[in-house]
Structure 1
Amino acid sequence: MAPSNPQRRGTSRIAESLRAQLWPVPSVAIALAIALGIGLPILDEAIDDTLPAWLTVYLFQGGADAARAVLQAIAGSLITVTALTFSLTVVTLQLASSQFSPRLLRTFTSDGVVHWTLGLLLGTFVYSLTVLRTVRTGGDERDLFIPVMSTTLAYVLAVASVIGLVAFLAHLVRELRIETMLTTVHREASAELDHSFPDDAGVPAIVPSGGGSNEILVGAAESGFLLMVDEHSLLDLAIARSVVIRIDALPGSSLVRGVPLATLWPQQPGTVIAADDVADLRKGVAAAVSSGSERTIVQDAGFGLRQLIDVTAKALSPGINDPTTAVHALGHAAALLCDLAARDLGPRLHRDDNDRVCVIVRRPTFAHYLDLVVAQPRLYGIADPAVTGRLLRLLQEVAWNGDHPAVLAAVRDQLARMRESMARQEWIAADRTRLNALAAEVDDALDGRWRAEAYEAG
């Protein structure tokens, strides 16, 4: 089982962290604006008398006072527009948090359109102020200087800022639609599935069971969420110390300082890890495990499903009461689960040159992912026939796409739980008959049979 590229995964984590911040792109834009606002007037002064006549027609034609007025107007208006843009962004974040899920905030803060719009507005503002300081009226024993190219560029940037603001408002309206949010989460989760589970399901690998009494537990170095494991560093460490390292914590799981997250044991049965090596091994494992205060999609394919189910649970709350959104979110979750059903979800094994297993990285089973998707909607939405019907349809779709015994066993288990919950509900006879028929269709799918009448609008 080939390991993923640790350098790429580390780069992905850094890129994801920066992408979720609002400040990097505006900061770069401000720095470029300052450099351009200083450098372009110098070029302006150097070639002012050598510009061809056909070019000067398109450049700023006013005097020093007019140049000052233009630059002041651009700077003054853009700082107001920037404040408006920030306000709209904050309102969007508040709406996403209260209406859908706090976990969706990363979707908005990582939005490139928001970053580049703020960068354009702030960059134009800073550039105009920087150029404004170079305009000279000719008094106080200083020569008259009008940076015509610089002022023209300020005008062009101002027009671009207006266009950018209109595009930003249109984009914001589109992003506030729940279907857009669900599609974005689905796309990111699907891409992470391709990185985390690149192999199709096949013959399960033989996983070493452990070292018995010679096992040594390694506690978490700090509290937080498990974000990333540097598997290649662990492999080098395991080979150098002749041990087997098993990471027991799952991606995205909560870590508490001192609580075991990994297990070590010697490669050679009957041997004991030297006491001097234990401290170094614990330090090495701690250095290879990255944790943080907030989950990210990198190396954590389940985070996308968690976001979708958060939206589902929020939509089913009494304060929102939007079962249609819940049904649509479950549709996206079903598509991801069907993709997962065909992948190898077993532990990731890393071997040395002698084909001995040295590193074992546990990963969530399919039953874990399926329970993550079904459990909360079943708890909060079982009384709604539409939600119950979509959950049964989800199980039917997964059963049809999965042929691995573990997948089918997980579907059967969830179907039994659904039937137990359904038996306690007080539905009208027609709804109960329809839902029982849907449950029977799940049984058919588990046996490789599909009913054409399974489709219905949700």
Structure 2
Amino acid sequence: MIEQFLLYLRRIARKLWFRVVLISVLSLLALLLAPLAKPLLPDSLSEDFGREAVLPVLTILASGMLAVTTFSLNVMVSAYRTAASMATPRVYRLLLEDTVTHRVLATFVGGFIFSLSGVILFRARYYTPEGALVVFGITIVVVVLIVGAILRWIDHLSGLGSMDHTLRLIESRTRDSMRARLDMPCLGGQRSDSSGVPDDAAAIPASRSGFVRFAGMAQLNELAEEAGTEITLAKAPGEYILRGQPVAWAAAGDNDFCKAASKAIDIGDVRSFDQDPSFGLTLLAETAQRALSPGINDPGTAIEVMGRLGRLLWETMPADEISSTRKPEFPNVKVPPVTARHLLRCAFPPIARSGSDSPSVMGWMQKTLEELESHSNPEMAKAAAEMRKELGEGGSG
């Protein structure tokens, strides 16, 4: 349960509203607690930097931040829609997790809440002269933060919604996901084989239809250890399943055990990067397909995408001896491995179907696969050679 709770917190922290609410609450607390703080400056300054000095500044901030926030939200939505139309619709959810945009908008909204609440509290005669001096000091800090956020926002807007920014964001999240799998092969469990399901195995049914997004390995391992059995995932994160179908198998177990194990596997309507390293490769391939469509006809973007794909597969695919000798952290859970062939199939065949008429695209693909043939992982090298032969030798570099 702790593992799933932390997952829930991570997903909440990626939401725009989370930072906005957090900064807004901190702003209100700063205003409400200001009378309790003792100013570091002499009390004689209360006359010069008290109510009459800070109230006009708060009034200007209250009116200005509302306009800035509304404008920024319109720009954000427009840029994200443009990026989704140029790349792939599924990148929109990834763009919504942009932390720079979150911090900037949270600062703007927090500044608006702070200034508006400050005006209300001053009009209500809530502050003593000493408290007003403290609010003046906090206001100076807020103004500095707002100016910094505006400068950061101007710099960020220069690339927001562009193809370069979108591809960079997808590659970054994909690299994080693949490195996480590199650190914990098979999610920290044992590597499941393809020997099939035992006849006496108990099926762990899926609680709903959708994509497997997260497997709580610690909870599954604990359940299996208490029951003296082993759990084998039938569907790896990223795969689709219908409600009631076996999402995992247990060597033995009653109904209560199967229900508890089913709750440890998160299933949702959309795929997630959390434990699915192939999702980012799929998004990159879809972006290249969109670029190669007749309406856009941009082989340069497809070539750039293949460069990023080759970089990801070269740098994040572990050498075979690394993953095979690592001791599993959750020995009672077996997980299907992410194979090199699966990663390559997510990346290159979709681009080959859309770019078969472009010699430059096919030539770059052959070059990328040829370079992957010298990978330190024998599985990757073999899969790349097979795929290069499968996709043909057409095109020139």
Q: Which bracket does the TM-score occupy, shorter chain normalised? A: 0.7 to 0.9
Partner of 2:59: 72
Contact 2:234 2:247 in 1 (8 A): yes
The match for 2:21 is 27
1:145-178 CA deviation, whole Å, 9 max, x = no partner? 9924424533552353233123212112234342
The residue aligned with 2:173 is 188
Residue type of the alignment partner of 1:164: A
- After superposition, what is the alpha-carbon deviation per residue over 1:111-138, rounded to whole angstroms, capped at 9, x for unaligned? 2221121221111111112221233699
What secondary structure does 2:90 align onto? helix
Tell me if 1:280 matches 2:256.
yes
Structure 2 residue matching 1:299: 3-state secondary structure: coil
For 1:393, the aligned partner's letter is: K
The Cα shift of 1:197 comes to 2.5
Task: Name the counterpart of 2:212.
Answer: 226
Aligned to 1:99: 86
Q: Are positions 1:246 and 2:220 aligned together?
A: no
CA distance in 1, matches of 2:199, 2:235: 21
- For 1:116-131, list aligned pairs within 5 A: 116-131=103-118
For residues 96-175 of structure 1, the aligned pairs below 5 Å read 96-135=83-122, 147-175=132-160
2:12 is the alignment partner of 1:18:
yes
What's the counterpart of residue 342 of structure 1? 319
Q: Give CA deviations for 1:332-358 in whole Å, capped at 9, x if unaligned.
A: 111122232635678x99699xxxx74
Aligned to 1:401: 375
1:193-225 residue CA offsets vs partner (Å, 9 max, x unmatched): 222123799xx9784835542233332111222
Alpha-carbon separation, structure 2, partners of 1:366 and 1:115: 35
Alignment of 1:291 with 2:267, yes or no, is yes
CA shift, 1:366, in A, is 1.3
* Residue 413 of structure 1: aligned partner: 386
Asked if the contact 1:350–1:359 (Cα under 8 Å) also holds between the matched residues in 2, the reply is: no
Q: What is residue 388 of structure 1 aligned with on the other side?
A: 362
Gaps of 5+ in 1: 1-5, 267-276, 423-431, 439-458
TM-score by length of 2: 0.85
Tell whether the 8 Å contact from 1:189 to 1:305 is kept in structure 2 after alignment: yes
Asked whether the 8 Å contact 1:37–1:128 carries over to 2, the reply is no
Rounded Cα–Cα distance in structure 2 between residues aligned with 1:363 and 1:402: 18
Instruction: For 1:161, give the aligned amino acid.
Output: I
The aligned amino acid for 1:69 is: P
Structure 1 residue 284 displacement after superposition: 2.5
Following superposition, the deviation at residue 60 of structure 1 comes to 2.9
User: Of the candidates 321, 330, 340, which is equivalent to residue 366 of structure 1?
Assistant: 340
Instruction: Answer yes or no: is the 8 Å Cα contact 2:191–2:337 preserved in 1.
Output: no
1-structure distance, mates of 2:98, 2:160: 9
Cα distance change on mapping 1:385 and 1:287 into 2, 3 Å = same
| Counterpart residue type for residue 118 of structure 1 | L
CA distance in 2, matches of 1:133, 1:252: 50
CA apart distance, 1:11 = 6.7
CA contact (8 A) 2:182 2:318 kept: no
Would the alpha carbon gap of residues 240 and 38 (structure 1) be closer, same or farther in structure 2, given more than 3 Å must change?
closer
Shift of 1:319: 2.4
SS at match of 1:331: helix
1:257 is aligned to 2:246: no
Q: With the length of structure 1 as denominator, give the TM-score of the two structures.
A: 0.75
Q: Which residue in the other structure is 1:321 paired with?
A: 297
Q: Deviations over 1:49-99 (max 9, x none)?
A: x8255x669x637x64x6543322220111111111111111121112111
Q: How many residues align?
A: 391
SS state at 1:225 partner: strand
What's the offset of the Cα at 1:188?
Answer: 2.5
Identity in percent: 23
Matched position secondary structure for 2:159: helix
Q: Describe the shift of the 1:369–1:147 C-alpha distance in structure 2 as closer, same or farther (beyond 3 A).
A: same
Structure 1: distance between partners of 2:211 and 2:191 = 28
CA distance in 1, matches of 2:232, 2:308: 33
1:231 to 1:43, Cα distance in 2 relative to 1, 3 A? closer
Give the counterpart letter for 1:173 in structure 2: S
Structure 1 pair 114–257 and aligned structure 2 pair: CA distance change class (3 A): same
Which residue of structure 2 aligns with residue 36 of structure 1?
30
The answer to whether the Cα contact below 8 Å between 1:134 and 1:147 also exists between their aligned partners in 2 is no
- Residue 255 (structure 1) shift: 2.2
User: 1: CA distance between counterparts of 2:18 and 2:128?
Assistant: 39
Number of the residue aligned with 1:454: none
Judging changes above 3 Å, is the alpha-carbon distance between structure 1 residues 351 and 298 closer, same or farther for their aligned structure 2 residues? closer
For residues 369 and 141 of structure 2, the distance between their equivalents in structure 1, rounded to whole angstroms, comes to 56
SS at match of 1:213: coil
CA distance in structure 1 between the aligned counterparts of 2:329 and 2:123, rounded to whole angstroms: 71
User: Root-mean-square deviation (CA), in Å?
Assistant: 3.5
Retained in 1: the 8 A contact 2:83–2:92?
A: yes
Helix, strand or coil: the match of 1:133? helix
| The structure with more radius of gyration | 1
Residue 286 (structure 1) shift: 0.3
| Structure 2 unmatched ranges of 5 or more | none
CA separation of 1:390/1:13 partners in 2, compared to 1, >3 Å: closer, same or farther?
farther
- The alpha-carbon distance between structure 1 residues 388 and 167, as it changes in their structure 2 partners (threshold 3 A), is same
Partner Cα distance (2:278, 2:39) in 1: 59
Aligned mates of 1:52, 1:358 — CA distance in 2? 67
